[in-house]
Amino acid sequence: MAGGEVVVETLDSRVLRGNPLRDPARRDIAIYLPPKYDPTKRYPAAYAIVGYTGTGKSLLNIDPLGEDLKSKLDRLIRTGKMGPMIVPMVDCFTRVGGSQYINSSAIGRYEDYLLKEIIPFIERRYRISRRGVWGKSSGGYGAIVQAMLHPDTWQALADHSGDSCFEFCYIIDFPAALEAFRDHGGPAGWLRWYWRQPNRRKEGFFHPLNALGMAAHYSPNPRSPHLGIDFPFDLETGEWRPEVWARWRAWDPVNMVERYARVLRRMRLVYIDCGTKDQYNLIWGARTLHAKLTKLRVRHVYEEFDDTHSNIQYRYDTSLPLMWKALSR
Amino acid sequence: MAGGEVVVETLDSRVLRGNPLRDPARRDIAIYLPPKYDPTKRYPAAYAIVGYTGTGKSLLNIDPLGEDLKSKLDRLIRTGKMGPMIVPMVDCFTRVGGSQYINSSAIGRYEDYLLKEIIPFIERRYRISRRGVWGKSSGGYGAIVQAMLHPDTWQALADHSGDSCFEFCYIIDFPAALEAFRDHGGPAGWLRWYWRQPNRRKEGFFHPLNALGMAAHYSPNPRSPHLGIDFPFDLETGEWRPEVWARWRAWDPVNMVERYARVLRRMRLVYIDCGTKDQYNLIWGARTLHAKLTKLRVRHVYEEFDDTHSNIQYRYDTSLPLMWKALSR
Amino acid sequence: MAGGEVVVETLDSRVLRGNPLRDPARRDIAIYLPPKYDPTKRYPAAYAIVGYTGTGKSLLNIDPLGEDLKSKLDRLIRTGKMGPMIVPMVDCFTRVGGSQYINSSAIGRYEDYLLKEIIPFIERRYRISRRGVWGKSSGGYGAIVQAMLHPDTWQALADHSGDSCFEFCYIIDFPAALEAFRDHGGPAGWLRWYWRQPNRRKEGFFHPLNALGMAAHYSPNPRSPHLGIDFPFDLETGEWRPEVWARWRAWDPVNMVERYARVLRRMRLVYIDCGTKDQYNLIWGARTLHAKLTKLRVRHVYEEFDDTHSNIQYRYDTSLPLMWKALSR
Amino acid sequence: MAGGEVVVETLDSRVLRGNPLRDPARRDIAIYLPPKYDPTKRYPAAYAIVGYTGTGKSLLNIDPLGEDLKSKLDRLIRTGKMGPMIVPMVDCFTRVGGSQYINSSAIGRYEDYLLKEIIPFIERRYRISRRGVWGKSSGGYGAIVQAMLHPDTWQALADHSGDSCFEFCYIIDFPAALEAFRDHGGPAGWLRWYWRQPNRRKEGFFHPLNALGMAAHYSPNPRSPHLGIDFPFDLETGEWRPEVWARWRAWDPVNMVERYARVLRRMRLVYIDCGTKDQYNLIWGARTLHAKLTKLRVRHVYEEFDDTHSNIQYRYDTSLPLMWKALSR
């Protein structure tokens, strides 16, 4: 069963050079090329951006109970569910655990990195017809937000279980984050301590990591002594800071879609799905998005499924063929 | 070991008559009278208001691994930890699961009931020197809020693990509440269904009950078709409704103390404690209150203890003697 | 709504005097007398024995979301679901957290206490026609075991969610118990420490308490230095001790029924139920009992219900009328 | 930073041909070759066998918060923690979720596969000085059991959090397994249903998978209608079947070490570790092993660490250098 091929290329970023978290500027990009890839032809490209605590290459991780992305793409193409497509897998991992794929003075310019460096880099090497962006969780968030912000770049998006309705998905992490920060002399102290731990996936670590990471994206503040980040709560007492929270809310897709309705209507595919048992409560963001897009007359595909946020790569069986179709029409 | 006595009196309320939830207007009040109670003498009274899903008499429930309130009061007095005190145990239970001890068009006027009916009723029968109010959870909330609102009535308060910092203690219930309401045709349908269940303490039921109950207290709206209640989220999609949430925030003790600093300074006792592992995250509300009261120069007792929100009646061993002392000075 | 009455009597036990755990020999018995109780008539008596960590009087605890036993009995009689019945509520609580209602050299002779002291004590004061025994959890265990052992005493039994299939209900506690015992210098050290804790219902405490309590019942050994108890595991390493476990197994109702089939066939009521989601996995013991009783041609009532082990007092609405009927025929 | 290389070879097995679960006979083996690998030299080989639900290649999975095995080996060698070593990663995955690396009539002859096919296959291609076997969980189990059974093959073993003290690690899965089997018409029906699920890592699926898989290893029975497997419980009622359980116990390392003490004394390395918070309670098996080995005067390295069963690959930083040293001496 001859399948496609995964090529790994290395890119030295200018944009990431000197980033505040000292994350590497030199990074790999894994690129799936379909079977019988012909360098003289144009292919649609579905850029994969991953969720928090992952990186592009983790999509290729082997699971004997499941299916890695390469096997999935090979199978979807082999069985005629979709045609040949190029799938670049992007590495935007950072010291705060991942990326929301937006620029932030506290982290670096990952939005620019994706747009101004990765896309040109890929497309100098591979001939692309049209471009889609897709991902799960933070990757789903990135997909819908980047498509809204850069409709000239992206012609399709798939947002799987993406961050939204921030009141329900993020606040649940804050109490444990507050405790962790207090225990380690603040967010900076916690982050240093965290990276010294041999097991960084211990239960409970995700809360402070996620709270810190999201604050770094949504409320950076170069004048803050806490890693250049404002927090929506007082770091000592937990007192709510509505003015910081308002900055987060401005980045919530459910609060952005009205403004970007026009550009979303131009997309060839707006795909949104979410599990009804999503443990980060993302189903409510998805439902809100669906209701708003419907009201705004943005054509979109919306699906709910009976599952949680975890191990739901099988959902790509639905979105990727739709994306291929949308980009190939 | 001769102890005190618990007398149960029955009060027919005018205030509660015709309340919107059809809760009974005729209710018992259990009153602890200390050993050697002498009806010709005056005693301090520590009014007990209980937490959500409880009622006054539940304080007397037997636990062979713990200590019921009567045994505790007997012991504290017998061992000289405090002097004789009268402890009325109030019943403000409602169909939405309890009370926050404030008036609400959606529930009834339980604040008035407490102030205008229970206190006079008790004090016609028993001679009271001074009055304190105390409770845990919603009872702790009621204690601090009622003391702020009615400083001429109350001279002391003890707030054990009381509701506060609403962002952290209430929003966690909303996703499950949304789901439950959807499954049963809205909050009214859910509530009817709920009361038909033989086991109303099933895991998971607390979320919709608490969300509904709090909304009924903090954002009643006689014109709402949903039991006369506004919700801080869209009942179909979960979309956040900041304007309703703002009404809740106005009732958050952490947002009230500045306004009531002057009356709090007049209290003979302001007692606040909370467990550092409180599963409703109330420690952050407690810490915020403590920080604000300190800044506002309100003298108060503040304690943190290494426990959760559950089975912490042993904390009354600390607060009740302080209250007796404060009311007896 | 005139209801029955609860009388509390005090009994000085000879049997419990000098028990090894120094638990009180003088104890209260609460006795429910039906409405219009007539001391000249005979009534059936349904002796209530409670589950672990409870005591007779806890059956009377108030729950505004549920129903205490007195209200339940009043209602069942008032609505004609059953006729008048006397319900004694027995206190067999011990320092190891409760009772399995069998004699043990490590705890005391609670089986004798029930049979030789409580029953005569009650029946000197109240005229009894026939006797049933019922309870939940350890009380359900006690009911079926005592009925098997003493068929001349008991004519009916109701076993709600009773301990059985010990492999599934007890072993789950052992790893946490082992850890706790190690942390406190062995079972004796742990028990002393435990009783010094102000909150003895902390999550996690139940595991060592239950493991210790069950070992004290099923594998006492006067020569053991560990409170006169053998454990089915090595206290240092956890190594399994099959010979001790075999002693436990001899007390498992599923392993007893064959031997006692004849006496069970004489019962006027053998009632067994269990929740399909019982968190102690007791449904499998119940299913095994049901299958064996069926095979042994013991007439019995067997019900499964969709609930857990907790807050299932509503099940008594089914068993108590059946017991009344069986005892009254 | 030049590192080693991972070579993937494919082996057509005779031993696995026609296995009862129809698992593939043709499989990949990933082989780590150290930096500057010289095919003319001999190297020690540390055969990696993985835990349940994994396969050899999953050791190479990327984790930006952790470290994949290739990076780890490169780093350990680069920093001088150990010398060059070959690490074959074995694929013994089966339809029942993995392997315990013993022959079973219900699954196939994976022990023979490892011994009689994989080792010769590897060692025809790569020159090996001495051999060790190591793994985590079921892989740890396989390591200690295979070393005991085949001391002429293996000169060193590392057992990380390996299955042992079966009473504590396996019985916890049985109640949920029983329920799942009943819901799907028995183990065979469940297994068919399971493999039709798109997400086979849903919470809860592990219990029946593990119970089924272990029964398939420890109590196969060609005459059983249930996939040729006996279960230690009645599939309808859950009744305990001690005679089947006795067959499991015979495969428990804690019950094997006495018999194999002599061969274990010959090992160049016996390494055992376990997390004190292992959620499968394996710490008690580890402690029992440690106590028994000590008593039997088997020299061994024993470590406990403060962690669970999950994400503990950092423990290989300790064992692999010891294994290299042992095999190189």
Mapping DSSP onto H, E and C, the string for C193-255 reads: HHHHCCCCCCCCCHHHHHHHHHHHHHCECCCCCCCCECCCECCCCCCECHHHHHHHHHCCHHH
- Amino acid (1-letter code) at residue A67: E
Which pLDDT tens digit goes with each residue over A240-284?
999 999 999 999 999 999 999 999 999 999 999 999 999 999 999
Q: B186 CB contacts (<8 Å, ≥6 apart)?
A: B226, B235
Select from C168, C247, C255, C294 the residue whose CB has the most chain D CBs within 10 Å, as the one to mutate to test that interface: C168
Select from C207, C279, C281, C296 the residue whose CB has the most chain D CBs within 10 Å, as the one to mutate to test that interface: C281
Segment A208-229 mean pLDDT? 98
Distance CA A42, CA B320 (A): 79
Which pLDDT tens digit goes with each residue over D208-249?
999 999 999 999 999 999 999 999 999 999 999 999 999 999
C103: its two tokens: 């004699």
Distance CA B25, CA B23 (A): 7
Q: Mean pLDDT of all residues in chain A?
A: 98
- Amino acid (1-letter code) at residue B74: D
Select from B178, B240, B243, B274 the residue whose CB has the most chain A CBs within 10 Å, as the one to mutate to test that interface: B240
Phi, psi dihedrals of residue D177, rounded to the nearest 5°: -65, -45
Beta strands B108-109; C108-109: pairing state: unpaired
3-state DSSP helix/strand/coil % of chain D, to nearest 5: 40, 20, 40
Q: In whole angstroms, how large is the CA radius of gyration of chain B? A: 19
| Structure confidence at residue D1 (pLDDT) | 53
Nearest C-alpha of chain B: how many angstroms from A37?
44
Distance CA C59, CA B294 (A): 45
C207: its two tokens: 């595991």
Residues of B in contact with C198 (CB under 8 A): 314, 317
Which pLDDT tens digit goes with each residue over C270-315?
999 999 999 999 999 999 999 999 999 999 999 999 999 999 999 9
On whether any CB of chain C is under 8 Å from the CB of B219, the answer is no
Q: Is the per-residue pLDDT at C167 higher than 80?
A: yes
Q: Residue C160's beta-bridge partner residues?
A: C136, C273
| Structure confidence at residue B1 (pLDDT) | 53
**Contact C322/C303 with Cβ under 8 angstroms?**
no
Q: Is the per-residue pLDDT at D87 higher than 80?
A: yes
With tokens 């506002």, the residue in question is B296
| Structure confidence at residue A329 (pLDDT) | 86
Q: Residue C303's beta-bridge partner residues?
A: C273
Interface of D with C in 236-255 (CB under 8 A): 236-240, 254
The candidate with the shortest Cα–Cα distance to B117, out of B139, B95, B136, B92, is: B92
On whether any CB of chain D is under 8 Å from the CB of A21, the answer is no
Mapping DSSP onto H, E and C, the string for A89-141 reads: ECCCCCCCCCCCCCEECCCEEHHHHHHHHHHHHHHHHCCEEEEEEEEECHHHH
Q: Does the beta-carbon distance from D199 to A311 stay under 8 Å?
A: yes
Distance CA A251, CA B315 (A): 43
Of D53, D65, D308, the CB nearest to A53: D65
Segment B304-312 mean pLDDT? 98
Distance CA C130, CA C43 (A): 7
C158: its two tokens: 């109701």
Q: Mean pLDDT of all residues in chain D?
A: 98
- Collapse the DSSP code of D300 into the 3-class scheme (helix H, G, I; strand E, B; otherwise coil) and give the result: coil
Beta strands D26-33; D87-89: pairing state: antiparallel
Interface of A with B in 52-111 (CB under 8 A): none
| Structure confidence at residue D329 (pLDDT) | 86
- DSSP assignment of D30-61 equals EEEE-TT--TTS-EEEEEEEPPTT--GGGGG-
Examine chains C and D and say if they touch (3+ CB pairs below 8 A).
yes
Q: Is the per-residue pLDDT at A153 higher than 90?
A: yes
Which pLDDT tens digit goes with each residue over B178-187?
999 999 999 9
The answer to whether the Cα torsion of A241, A244, A248, A250 is positive or negative is: positive
Phi, psi dihedrals of residue A220, rounded to the nearest 5°: -70, 155
Segment D132-153 mean pLDDT? 98
Subunits close to A (at least 3 CB pairs below 8 A): B, D
pLDDT band (50, 70, 90) for residue B70: very high
Q: From residue A178, give the alpha-carbon distance in Å to each of A21, A182, B15.
A: 21, 6, 43
Q: Does the beta-carbon distance from B312 to C199 stay under 8 Å?
A: yes
Residues of D in contact with C238 (CB under 8 A): 165, 168, 283-285, 287-288
- DSSP assignment of C6-41 equals EEEEEEE-STTTT-TT---SEEEEEEEE-TT--TTS
D263: its two tokens: 């061969």
Subunits close to B (at least 3 CB pairs below 8 A): A, C
Phi-psi map region of A186: left, alpha, beta (phi>0 left; psi -120 to 50 alpha): left
Examine chains B and D and say if they touch (3+ CB pairs below 8 A).
no
DSSP state letter for A51? P
Q: Does the beta-carbon distance from C203 to B61 stay under 8 Å?
A: no
Residues of A in contact with D64 (CB under 8 A): 53-55, 58, 93, 98
pLDDT band (50, 70, 90) for residue A1: low
Of D175, D239, D284, the CB nearest to C237: D284
Distance CA A12, CA C128 (A): 92
| Structure confidence at residue B329 (pLDDT) | 86
On whether any CB of chain B is under 8 Å from the CB of C307, the answer is yes
The candidate with the shortest Cα–Cα distance to A325, out of A129, A173, A109, A106, is: A129
Nearest C-alpha of chain D: how many angstroms from C60?
33
- Collapse the DSSP code of D242 into the 3-class scheme (helix H, G, I; strand E, B; otherwise coil) and give the result: helix
Examine chains A and D and say if they touch (3+ CB pairs below 8 A).
yes
Distance CA C292, CA C298 (A): 9
With tokens 């099959």, the residue in question is C242
Examine chains C and B and say if they touch (3+ CB pairs below 8 A).
yes
Q: How many percent of chain D have pLDDT more than 90?
A: 98
DSSP state letter for D200? T
Nearest C-alpha of chain C: how many angstroms from D51?
22
Q: Does the beta-carbon distance from B307 to C199 stay under 8 Å?
A: yes
On whether any CB of chain C is under 8 Å from the CB of B307, the answer is yes
Q: Count of CB atoms within 10 A of residue A149's CB?
A: 16
Nearest C-alpha of chain C: how many angstroms from D214?
17
On whether any CB of chain D is under 8 Å from the CB of A199, the answer is yes
pLDDT band (50, 70, 90) for residue C1: low
Which pLDDT tens digit goes with each residue over A9-36?
999 999 999 999 999 999 999 999 999 9
Q: How many CB pairs under 8 A join C and D?
A: 71
Q: Does the beta-carbon distance from B199 to C311 stay under 8 Å?
A: yes
Phi-psi map region of D238: left, alpha, beta (phi>0 left; psi -120 to 50 alpha): left
Q: Does the beta-carbon distance from D165 to C288 stay under 8 Å?
A: no
Q: Residue A109's beta-bridge partner residues?
A: A103
D151: its two tokens: 């001391």
Q: Does the beta-carbon distance from A65 to D200 stay under 8 Å?
A: yes
Residues of D in contact with A62 (CB under 8 A): 55, 57-58, 60-61
Q: Mean pLDDT of all residues in chain C?
A: 98
Q: How many percent of chain D have pLDDT more than 70?
A: 99
Q: Does the beta-carbon distance from C284 to D178 stay under 8 Å?
A: yes
pLDDT band (50, 70, 90) for residue C210: very high
